[in-house]
Amino acid sequence: MFARPEWFKRRKYGGWGVYPATWQGWVYILVLLLPFAIFQILGTIDEQTKTYVTLGWVALVLFDIAPVVVTLRKDEREHKIEAIAERNAAWAMVLMLAIGIGYQAVTKGSFDIFLIITLFAGVAAKAISNIYLERRGI
């Protein structure tokens, strides 16, 4: 829609996504955030409306920035580095989920079912990815 890939670089440190690389990228971020911040500060709007507008705003931003994230160019070395970083992040999250489940089981005698579902979703995603990639010969 509005964002251009040449305005951004891939975020290497501190999360996923992109960060502005040119003045146009910074203006884009400002144009996105300023009206949103003003809307949130307004005290005359009820919480339900704020929630719906916030969800809509987030959807719009994701819809606009997703093509930029997908089309950013990376060389083979960057692909490999990103793959290793993503793998390490995934393992750290799995470890913390497992620790959280164990902690809940010990302290409460029960655990949050969504944590279990999250772990199984990760296992399923890995299995499906492996099957798909093996069939493609990658």
- What does pTM read for this prediction? 0.57
C-alpha gyration radius of the chain: 20
What per-residue confidence (pLDDT) applies to 84?
84
What per-residue confidence (pLDDT) applies to 23?
94
pLDDT tens digit at each of 138 positions of the chain: 788 888 888 777 666 678 888 999 999 999 888 888 888 887 778 888 888 888 998 898 889 888 888 887 777 877 787 788 888 888 888 898 889 888 888 898 887 888 888 888 888 888 898 888 888 887
Judge whether 6 and 70 are in contact, CB under 8 Å.
no
**DSSP structure class, residue 21:** -
Chain-centroid distance, C-alpha 37: 21
